[in-house]
Chains A and B, each alone.
Chain A
Amino acid sequence: MAIYEFIHNFVEVLDEYFSRVSELDIMFNLDKVHIILDEMVLNGCIVETNRARILAPLQILDKMSESCIEGSAKQHRFIGNVNTL
């Protein structure tokens, strides 16, 4: 029954990220969904269930790709942000 609850949690996270997620959202953004899933589950075990913490790295990634900065600069900024979690 806890698994049932976890699935619900996962859907809620997706909902928050995609704002009212639907099946199409998942299909078109498969890579992002994979990232979220990797944040939450590791080899079958639950890693993190806190929505804020899961979505933080993603939000940073999004911001970076929007500003089109690639390369090591992204990594450094990433580190800085992650350390505050």
Chain B
Amino acid sequence: MVVPLLKLQDLIQEIRGAKTQAQEREVIQKECAHIRASFRDGDPLQRHRQLAKLLYVHMLGYPAHFGQMECLKLIASPRFTDKRVGYLGAMLLLDERHDAHLLITNSIKNDLSQGIQPVQGLALCTLSTMGSAEMCRDLATEVEKLLLQPSTYVRKKAILTAVHMIRKVPELSDIFLPPCAKLLHERHHGVLLCTITLIMELCERSPAALRHFRKMVPQLVQILRMLVTTGCSTEHSVSGVSDPFLQVQILRLLRILGRNHEESSETMNDLLAQVATNTDTSRNAGNAVLFETVLTIMDIHSAAGLRVLAVNILGRFLLNSDKNIRYVALMSLLRLVQSDHSAVQRHRPTVVECLRETDASLSRRALELSLALVNSSNVRAMIQELQAFLESCPFDLRADCASGILLAAERFAPTKRWHIDTILHVLTMAGTHLRDDAVANLTQLIGGAQELHAYSVRRLYSALAGDISQQPLVQVAAWCIGEYGDLLLEGNCEVEPLQVEGEEVLALLEKVLQSQMSLPTTRGYALTALMKLSTRLPGDNYRIRQVVSIYGSCMDVELQQRAVEYNTLFRKYDHMRAAILEKMPLVEQGGPQVDEEAKESKEAAASVPTEPQASKLLDLLDLLDDTSEDAQHPPALNPSPEGTLVHLLDLPCAPPPLGKPQEKGVLEKEGENVLFLLLCRVRLICPFPPVCPYSMPILVGKGFIQSCHSLLAPFRVFPLFQTSSPGQQGPASSPISSHISSHFPIGPQTLPPQALGISCSFYTKCSFPGTSSDWLSRGRHFSLKCQMPSHTTPI
């Protein structure tokens, strides 16, 4: 049966005629079967046609590996068409992973030495594309011979084959080094182009080659100058620029040679300036050359004027209508902004314009660049622009934009009020996209700006009244209202006149508590704020007490605990409520140190690491009750009959010792995951017996007690750990309580002369009569950072 063999064209037509994928696959499979049959026993004259068809099918994605041996046969045949298709097939179908490629080595060798140019060209082409390391080593000498042949057609291909060989087998670079100098003298642009590529490859591989080629910089400069200044030869010019490809390659090579080398850089300076000014920029070819020039200027040791010129060129690129050019300009400016800040500042308006791009990658680069350009003089305008951008930008950029704005505001804020305004604005617009420490930062900031308390609480109140869905905003607002609720009600602030009733505030906080949108942490904030308002607001606290008692049986453990403890405050310790819920002192910016300490404490779950040199301060109230102490000590050492209570409430509440707004009793914590309320009593020691009338139970992990007491006992301060009333103790608590009692009576001792940092962590479990709690399941811990001041006087 003779099946007429299709020509390639016909096959293509047939394939394109197929209406569906299934049909196409059918056609191709039929044809492949024919091809396979013909390979086995077909006419050698038609083989190249079959292989050509096979290659087409391969391009479409179908398997074609059975053609590999055919390639070999075709390469070996003396006819040119066969060789042509054979080599093409070899390039496409064979690569290093198949073993068959080594078989081509011999054929290539024969072809290379035969002296027939097109054949040599073919062979070199194939070798440079898929030559493996062994092949390269075998054929290196052949290629080297060809490098020096008179025919340019072969020479340029040989050079690029050498490039490939060097990449595969770096040792061969020694062979190819010497001819380069001669090759640079060529006039043929093709050869020049390839030579420069070869030199670039050599320089990148070995510093010795780099030094060798630095001597040729003047020559390269000469070539480039000729290209730029002489009129363009029509055969190489592209839209008015004479051989931009060669120019670009030379510039790249100059960049490599001039890097970190003063002398070469100086030789290049004039030339670069000349290229930059003479190139026609109306078409893309000119822009390409200019861009390479700019990159080169950036990388070498160029004169200052030249760098400014480069920045100006980039600025001009930014005004171009072509998006590619603008993108490229933005990326390069970002690299430059560190080193040439003032020069880039001049283009700030254009960069800000680019923020409004519709294209996502452009606007992202513009955003990064704008953030890098913010400095103290232009901060107001820039932040305004950035805020406008924040409103309209796509979601994936919002987080970056918001955090960038906050960072910039932090570094360059001209006034505190402006800072607070900016953060507020960002919170209202993009609150959900912010990082979690933004809340902490803002509370810190507000707390520090004494004069702006009234202003900020008003702003926050109105913002909260408008919208309670943005969690960070709600958290900050709740905290603020809690702290400065009395200022809110005063209503005589000159900037933000606002008449607010106490009831409205309570209603708003309750709304937050009940809202579906509030996170558990937000609810915690709101509850604490409500409690604080009980002291700040005039009038009866009935409403607050009601809310708090409702949450005493809330499902969320955190809230429940807080509510329960607050309830107790109302019921039993009402006289102390004011003291506990006083305004916070300014929290010291613990920052990352606190974070890592908090993290450490989390890891040291059961064990108690006592780490020295924790410098976060917590002055346990030193009991020396005389005023001869340093200012650092709390003068509130007056041992009141009930003892001084220090409540260590979590962030953001940390109560001061009575009335003194110094850094005291501060427990800094990581914001998000450790919000909980802990009541810890520190009792002033003697002459008071360690009998505490309080029955708020706190159980403490065993290991902690030992170390804690051993360390703290000498300082005559110790945390008083209460156990619950007998009968409600769990099994774990009894050894602890006995341990505690053994430490209680402590006589006067001297304080250590130096500060000792102690970091202790312990588990606390709150058990309260009425709540069924599992001893082990609800563990909480925080870290107590204690530092005894060094200047304590002995008693």
Contact = CB atoms under 8 A, between A and B. Distances in A.
Interface of A: 1-2, 4-6, 8-9, 27-28, 30-31, 34-35, 38, 42-43, 45-53, 57, 65, 70-72, 74-75, 78-79, 82-83, 85
B152 A85 contact: yes
B164 A43 contact: yes
B160 A79 contact: no
Contacts of A50: 189-190, 235-236
Contacts of B59: 30
A47 B288 contact: no
B324 A35 contact: no
A5 B249 CA distance: 13
Contacts of A1: 284, 287-288, 291-292, 324-325, 328
Nearest to A50: B235
A70 B79 contact: yes
Contacts of B81: 65, 70
Contacts of B238: 5, 8-9, 49
A42 B291 contact: no
Chain B interface category by residue count: 35 or more
B243 interface: yes
The 8 closest A-B pairs by CB, nearest first: A1-B288, A42-B160, A2-B248, A43-B128, A48-B190, A2-B288, A45-B197, A49-B245
B190 A83 contact: no
23 contacts: A1-B287, A4-B288, A27-B16, A31-B85, A31-B88, A38-B125, A42-B129, A42-B161, A43-B161, A45-B163, A45-B197, A47-B190, A49-B245, A50-B236, A52-B235, A70-B81, A72-B78, A75-B116, A79-B116, A79-B117, A83-B151, A85-B152, A85-B153
B156 A47 contact: yes
Given A1-B284, A34-B88, A85-B152, A79 B118 contact: yes
A82 B52 CA distance: 25
A50 B156 CA distance: 13
B388 to A, nearest CB: 32
A52 to B, nearest CB: 6
B329 to A, nearest CB: 11
Contact of A30 (B56, B153, B157, B292): B56
B153 A43 contact: no
B514 interface: no
A75 B244 contact: no
A70 B82 CA distance: 10
A85 B772 CA distance: 97
B84 interface: yes
Interface string B126-137: 001100000000
B79 A27 contact: no
A49 B236 contact: yes
Nearest to A43: B128
Contacts of A2: 244-245, 248, 288, 292
Given A2-B288, A28-B9, A31-B52, A45 B194 contact: yes
B161 to A, nearest CB: 7
B66 interface: no
Contacts of B508: none
Interface in B168-189: 189
Interface in B319-353: 324-325, 328
Q: Main secondary structure on chain A at its contact with chain B?
A: helix
B12 interface: yes
B112 to A, nearest CB: 15
Interface string B482-493: 000000000000
B594 interface: no
A9 B124 CA distance: 23
B193 interface: yes
Given A5-B238, A31-B85, 6 more contacts: A1-B284, A9-B238, A27-B12, A28-B13, A78-B117, A79-B117
Contacts of A8: 238, 284
B322 to A, nearest CB: 10
A74 B12 CA distance: 27
Interface string B278-317: 0000001101100110000000000000000000000000
B573 interface: no
A82 B117 contact: yes
A49 B235 CA distance: 9
B527 to A, nearest CB: 60
A78 B117 CA distance: 8
A50 B193 CA distance: 11
A34 B12 CA distance: 16
Contacts of A79: 116-118
A26 B582 CA distance: 82
B324 to A, nearest CB: 7
B157 A42 contact: yes
B784 interface: no
Contacts of B129: 42-43
Contact of A48 (B52, B55, B84, B156): B156
B245 A6 contact: yes
